[in-house]
């Protein structure tokens, strides 16, 4: 959510009018994140989030926006894209494809505890159930094929230790992806980027309720186990050391399985798919760190964190009880 494309109040006003949102009262850029341009948009009809897509093409966006619409209409705490009178969810602003969604209440939690992790686990399971009836299909654009393209680009920037780690993990993930057990795993449209800053909680301290899950613009069809691994790697990991907090992971996975019990191979392959998730974000952060794009508000995240997460996944694998 960096700002690559500047938007003024006049431009925002034209789009707001076309979508029936009323008069623009305020427009504020959002500096967090690194992928798209985002603004908080306040109009006479309410609070909205305006997104301009910097990498995704207009023809790629219906998958993401219809997925959000599908989940919101299934009763999940997901922002619903605003359609124009023709029913279209993809708009244009500043020469870029754009979308507007309702702004959800709440704030992100910097230090999630067992309570937060359990709530997220239950909602994640409901999301995975809901997408069983979602008809659109798009591969995860950060899948193993992307990783195999990204690895040689960032490899020259690594020292010997990190380079050896990357080389070995690429081999491991290649073999995992070719295994019959992996290929048979249940899959569907997953968020694939559900970090703690992509969810919000609302309510009194200690009694917060999960009020929103957002930023679906890395979503794609992948295994549900991979999606769980990505979530655990952020919500249940110490940000200073990269080490897993087993109590948080157990709380999240227990709440998930109350809603959607996991099959044997889903649990058995979770350690390897946690590694896949750590590798994916290590690679993307290496690229953003060493090969940054121009943006007026951009703060690349240090890649070392996910190198630590990956090492911890390998050296101290967590095997949840079956």
- Domain final position from 102, 133, 158: 102
Spatial distance between the Cα atoms of 294 and 17, rounded to a whole number of angstroms: 30
Q: Report if residue 193 sits inside a domain.
A: yes
Within a domain: 4: no
Number of domains comprising the chain: 2
Runs of H (alpha helix) within 95-187 = 114-130, 144-154, 160-178, 180-183
User: 124-141, pLDDT tens digit by residue?
Assistant: 999 999 999 999 999 999
With beta carbons less than 8 A apart as the criterion, state whether 68 and 217 touch: no
Of 76, 102, 128, the domain-final residue: 102
Q: Indicate the pLDDT class of residue 72, thresholds 50, 70 and 90.
A: very high
Do 127 and 98 share a structural domain?
Answer: no
Q: Are residues 278 and 187 in the same domain?
A: yes
pLDDT per residue over 203-258, tens digit each? 988 889 999 999 999 999 999 999 999 999 999 999 999 999 999 999 999 999 99
Chain segment 80-103, per-residue pLDDT in tens: 999 999 999 999 999 999 999 999
User: Which domain covers residue 245, as residue numbers?
Assistant: 114-315
For residue 261, the 8-state DSSP code is P
> Which CATH number covers residue 152?
3.90.1200.10
Say whether both 82 and 190 belong to one domain: no
Please state the pTM of the whole predicted model: 0.94
Q: Are residues 296 and 165 in the same domain?
A: yes
- In a domain, residue 2? The reply is no
Q: Are residues 133 and 275 in the same domain?
A: yes
Would you report the helix, strand and coil content of the chain in percent, each value rounded to 5?
Answer: 45, 15, 35
Domain holding 64: CATH number? 3.30.200.20
């Amino acid at each position: 959510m960096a700002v690559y494309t500047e938007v003024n109040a006049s431009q925002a006003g034209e789009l707001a009018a076309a979508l029936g949102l009323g008069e623009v009262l305020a427009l504020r850029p959002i500096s967090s994140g690194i992928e798209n341009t985002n603004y908080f948009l306040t109009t006479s009809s309410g609070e909205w989030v305006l997104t301009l897509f910097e990498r995704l093409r207009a023809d790629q966006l219906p998958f993401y926006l219809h997925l959000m619409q599908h989940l919101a209409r299934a009763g999940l705490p997901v922002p619903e894209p605003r359609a124009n009178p023709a029913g279209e969810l993809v708009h244009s602003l500043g020469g870029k494809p754009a979308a507007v969604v309702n702004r959800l209440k709440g704030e992100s939690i910097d230090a999630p505890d067992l309570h937060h992790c359990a709530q997220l686990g239950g909602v994640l399971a409901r999301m995975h159930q809901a997408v069983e009836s979602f008809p659109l299909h798009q591969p995860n654009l950060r899948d193993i094929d992307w990783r195999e393209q990204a690895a040689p680009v960032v490899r020259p920037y690594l020292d010997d230790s990190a380079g050896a780690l990357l080389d070995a993990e690429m081999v491991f993930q290649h073999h995992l992806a070719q295994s019959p057990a992996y290929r048979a795993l249940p899959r569907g449209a997953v968020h694939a980027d559900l970090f703690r800053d992509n969810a919000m909680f609302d309510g009194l301290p200690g009694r917060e309720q999960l009020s929103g899950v957002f930023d679906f613009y890395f979503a794609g069809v992948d295994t549900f186990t991979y999606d769980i691994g990505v979530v655990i790697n952020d919500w249940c990991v110490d940000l200073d050391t990269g080490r897993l907090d087993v109590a948080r992971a157990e709380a999240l996975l227990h709440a998930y399985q109350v809603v959607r019990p996991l099959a044997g191979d889903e649990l058995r392959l979770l350690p390897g798919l946690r590694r896949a998730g750590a590798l994916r974000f290590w690679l993307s952060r290496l690229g953003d760190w060493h090969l940054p794009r121009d943006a007026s508000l951009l703060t690349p995240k240090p890649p070392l964190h996910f190198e630590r997460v990956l090492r911890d996944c390998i050296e101290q694998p967590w095997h949840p009880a079956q």
